[in-house]
């Protein structure tokens, strides 16, 4: 049974996943030069999943805030 569209979360795959699909594992092995052409895609070796850390965005200072911080420093 599937989940109704209204109940799904919009950004559910923004976090890093710890399980890759077979195609993703083959692509990562190719990028690491550990894949030989003609090899069976079954029984693939383990592939390390790099977890991405998403930091919070810093607020941009406006000109007024820059001027007030410059005055405080003096």
The domains of the chain are located at 14-39
Q: Is the pTM of this model over 0.75?
A: no
Rounded Cα distance between 18 and 50, Å, is 9
Amino acid 51: pLDDT: 73
Q: Answer left, alpha or beta for residue 34, where phi above 0 means left and psi between -120 and 50 means alpha.
A: alpha
Which residue, 67, 69, 17, is CA-closest to 47?
17
Amino acid 67: pLDDT: 66
Instruction: Report the sign of the C-alpha dihedral through residues 61, 64, 70, 72, in that order.
Output: negative
Tokens describing residue 63:
């000109």
Rounded Cα distance between 44 and 21, Å, is 11
Per-residue pLDDT for 71 more than 80? no
The per-residue pLDDT for range 6-64, each reduced to its tens digit, is 777 766 656 667 888 999 999 999 999 999 899 998 999 988 887 766 667 777 766 66
């Amino acid at each position: 049974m599937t989940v109704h569209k209204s109940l799904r979360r919009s950004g559910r795959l923004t976090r890093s996943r710890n399980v890759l699909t077979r195609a993703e594992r083959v692509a990562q092995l190719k990028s690491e030069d550990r894949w030989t052409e003609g090899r069976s895609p079954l029984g693939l070796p383990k592939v390390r999943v790099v977890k991405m850390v998403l930091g919070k965005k810093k607020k941009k200072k406006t000109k007024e805030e820059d001027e007030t911080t410059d005055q405080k420093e003096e």
